Amino acid sequence: MPKHDVAVVGIGQTKFKSKRRDVNIPEMIYEAVKMALDDAQLEPKDIDAIVIGNMDHFEGINFSELMCGIEAAPGFLKPIVKVATGGTTGSSLAICGYHNVASGIYDKVLVVGWEKLNEGGATTGIITAFNPVWERPSLAGALGPLALMAGMYSAKYGITAEQAAKVTVKIGVTLPIIHMLTCRCQTLQLIML
């Protein structure tokens, strides 16, 4: 049992789509921040600290917590810490926010996770996760290793392509996913040039 109980008191999400041409990165983050603050009936001045994260390579911004945390989150003259753990960044942020409060150090913490992948390249970013000598030259990003995993799992347990497709159909986002694959392929070509 933690020393201090912790609760979520407000939530904000933007609409998720492949291109947000109408806002820049801080503006997009502020949309979600404003919604969360309104939901909790809090003002920026009520926030004790900010935990924020994304993956630097995806948008090509180093120390993104400074640009985004200060300009959008609203972190000017407040404590900010950035947590970035790849695909687990969102849940790692939530865990960090929890420890900030459960430790008794802060009372009210704003936790912000974001990506604006249209302004960078997800595959370009992900391929740098792999060993630069042995794995990176494939330029396969996440798709290559995921395909290997899916192939091995399907072969071992006799999973069919139709069963896999049912997951996508259930989620109901078939078209956007096809669209996303196209985008990734374009990025791949750019790197090889």
Partner 1 sequence: MDNVAIVGVAQTKYEEDKIDQTYSELVFEVVKKLHNELGINNDDVGCVITSSNDFNDGRTIANMAIQDAVGSVRKAESRVSGDGAFAFMYGVMRILSESYDTVMVVSHCKCSEVNQYLVNNTIFDPYYQRHLGLDQISSAGLMANMYMNKYNVSEEQAAMVVVKNRKNALNNPFAHLRKEISIKDVLNSKMMAYPLKELDFPPFSDGAVAMLLAKEDIAKKMTETPVWFRGYGNCTDAYYLGNRNMTDLIGLELATKEAYRMAGVNNPVDNLDVCEVSENFSVHELMIYEALGLCDKGEGGKFIESGETEMNGSIPINPSGGVLSSNPTMANGLIRVAEIALQLQGEADKRQVPNAKTGLAYGMNGISSQGNCVLIFGGDL
Give residues in contact with partner 1 (CB under 8 A).
Answer: 1-4, 24, 49, 53, 55-63, 65-67, 69-71, 75-86, 92, 95-96, 98-100, 102-105, 119, 125-126, 128-129, 131-132
Between 31 and 119, whose beta carbon lies closer to partner 1? Answer: 119
Min CB(75)–partner 1 separation in Å: 5
Between 102 and 180, whose beta carbon lies closer to partner 1? Answer: 102
Residue written as tokens 């996508």? 168
Query: Would you state the structure tokens that stand for residue 23, as one six-digit string?
Result: 């806002």
Between 49 and 111, whose beta carbon lies closer to partner 1? Answer: 49
Please tell me the distance from the alpha carbon of residue 33 to that of residue 114, in angstroms, as a whole number. Answer: 11
Residue of 102, 104, 111, 103 lying closest to 54 (CA atoms): 111
Min CB(58)–partner 1 separation in Å: 8
Please tell me the distance from the alpha carbon of residue 79 to that of residue 98, in angstroms, as a whole number. Answer: 15
Between 13 and 62, whose beta carbon lies closer to partner 1? Answer: 62
Min CB(7)–partner 1 separation in Å: 14
- Contact call for residues 89 and 113 (beta carbons, < 8 A): yes
- Contact call for residues 87 and 56 (beta carbons, < 8 A): no
Min CB(67)–partner 1 separation in Å: 5
Residue of 12, 52, 13, 25 lying closest to 118 (CA atoms): 25
Residue written as tokens 């309104």? 38
Min CB(18)–partner 1 separation in Å: 19
Between 5 and 162, whose beta carbon lies closer to partner 1? Answer: 5
Residue of 120, 142, 118 lying closest to 21 (CA atoms): 118
